[in-house]
Amino acid sequence: MTAECSSTKTQLRRHPERGSHDLEVVRTILDEALICHVGFVHDGCPVVIPTIHARRGDTLYLHGSPASRMLRGLASGLAVCVTATLIDGLVLAKSWFHHSLNYRSVVIFGSATVVGDAEEKTEALRVIVEHVKPGRTREARPPNARELSGTLVLSLPITESSAKIRTGGPIDDADDAGHPAWTGVVPVTSPR
């Protein structure tokens, strides 16, 4: 199953005009999003779990306990879909129908591999802690050998990905021009 799952195969998103495969856009969204949602198939059933991620170059790192069944599943090469979403604004229109959200999202398809090399593993954990709080790895204590072996780190290439973005104000029907409701975008900020 793994090798067959790609963004080309799963073009399920509407509004193709909002799509972008620009890797620089993908990188920016991944860096700005504090967490992602990891999707995989377990006994034929879809499962979506939130987790923290961090990017280094064009690699996305996930981590957790070696006892995590999700991570163990992904470590075995299970197909994975990682989605990260930022909400930028509430789009308030004249009609209920044209209400929307401004957002930026990334969907990555692929399969993860275990990071076994201690140096890369430490570096992956460094970028994950830095992702939570920039500068933090210089203040806190780095992992010792026991903690390193007590952490499973997975890497996933971000190359098989797409971004989708909505920006701008509401698009109202001309017929609604006279409706008195205020329209515009209420900015919101995603946690960082």
- The interface with a second copy within residues 3-42 (CB under 8 A) comprises 4-5, 9-14, 34-35, 37-42
Q: Please check whether residue 102 is in contact with residue 190, taking contact to mean a CB–CB distance below 8 angstroms.
A: no
Euclidean distance between CA atoms 8 and 111, whole angstroms:
15
Cβ closest to a second copy, residue 23 vs residue 48? 48
Question: Interface with a second copy includes 184 (CB under 8 A)?
Answer: no
Closest contact distance (angstroms) between CB of 192 and a second copy is 7
- Counting residues that bind a second copy (by CB under 8 A) gives 79
Strand partners for 155: 61, 113
Please report, as residue ranges, which positions from 67 to 126 form the binding site for a second copy (by CB under 8 A).
67-70, 73, 79-83, 85, 87, 90, 92-97, 99, 101, 103, 105, 107, 109, 125-126
Cβ closest to a second copy, residue 27 vs residue 38? 38
Euclidean distance between CA atoms 52 and 35, whole angstroms:
4
Closest contact distance (angstroms) between CB of 127 and a second copy is 11
Read off the DSSP letter of residue 8. Answer: T
Please report, as residue ranges, which positions from 148 to 177 form the binding site for a second copy (by CB under 8 A).
150-151, 176
Which of 81, 99, 79, 77 shows the shortest CA–CA distance to 89?
Answer: 99
Q: Please check whether residue 63 is in contact with residue 134, taking contact to mean a CB–CB distance below 8 angstroms.
A: no
Which of 45, 34, 48, 127 shows the shortest CA–CA distance to 82?
Answer: 48
Report residue 67 as tokens. 């006892």
Please report, as residue ranges, which positions from 129 to 148 form the binding site for a second copy (by CB under 8 A).
129, 132-133, 136-137, 139-143, 147
Closest contact distance (angstroms) between CB of 27 and a second copy is 18
